[in-house]
Structure 1
Amino acid sequence: MSQKKLATVITAAILGFAAAPAFADAPSEIRSVSVDTSGIDLTTEAGTDVMLAKLRRAAEKACDQRTGPMSLSERSAYQSCYNDAMSAALDSLTTATERQADLKAKQNG
């Protein structure tokens, strides 16, 4: 799978998880964060660690992570958004990793 196609897969997941607003009193909007996957080998532990760190930062940004005090409802809304974001991104990452491994095997085989 080309890096461009892989980037499209991960970006689609990021768009999907950002649909819920981070805070209940915030206006509804869709937030998206692109994650650059170029140069990351998702078939290695090191590559997976780098990608997970990028996805965590993207989820925090899309869900509007803030520093300082938050009400219980704000914290709950943020955590729900973050969990949904990471779940969708990891589902997409798993598929992308499998495809990348298949491509690598075909190139070596």
Structure 2
Amino acid sequence: MCSCTASATASARSEIAQFRSSHRARHAHSLVADDNLADAIRRALANGTHGALGLRTENCQKTFEELTAKGVEFIQPPTERPYGTEAIIRDNSGNWLVLVERKEYSPVDFE
């Protein structure tokens, strides 16, 4: 692996670690989406200013396979986490789209 690839890989890993840390802090409770929130998210995505968006899926592996077959590129394949399985996509504006298949968990699962 050339040094630029190794550097890019290390950078991506660092971004993923930072994202996970902030994601857990932001999502300590559930949000109920309403029309105003949905509109704000759409505007942020269109502007490339929404850092990340979590999308719930019933089967992360199946969704990953379906989207990969359609040409979607993932920066992280389905990976087990204490709160479920997640896969991460970066869109062409730099936004992170996180697919999450949730499972029951408790705070001790993060220790």
TM-score (norm. length: structure 1): 0.28
Which structure's residues are more often strand, by fraction? 2
Give 1 or 2: higher helix fraction. Answer: 1
User: Which protein has greater RCO, CA pairs closer than 8 Å, 6+ apart?
Assistant: 1
Q: Report the TM-score when normalising by structure 2.
A: 0.27
